[in-house]
Amino acid sequence: MKEIKLSVEDLHVETVLNILENLKEGLISEIQTDVKAKRTSQYKPKTKTIIKEENSGTADRSGKYMNPAAFKNRLKK
Tens of each residue's pLDDT in the chain, 77 residues: 788 888 888 888 888 888 888 887 788 888 887 766 566 667 777 777 776 666 566 565 666 677 788 788 888 87
Question: What's the whole-model pTM score?
Answer: 0.41
pLDDT attached to residue 37? 55
Closest CA to 36 of 20, 62, 17, 59: 17
- Residues ≥6 apart with Cβ < 8 Å to 29: 1
pLDDT attached to residue 53? 66
Sequence ranges of the domains in the chain? 10-76
pLDDT attached to residue 18? 87
Q: How many residues does the chain have?
A: 77
pLDDT attached to residue 68? 80
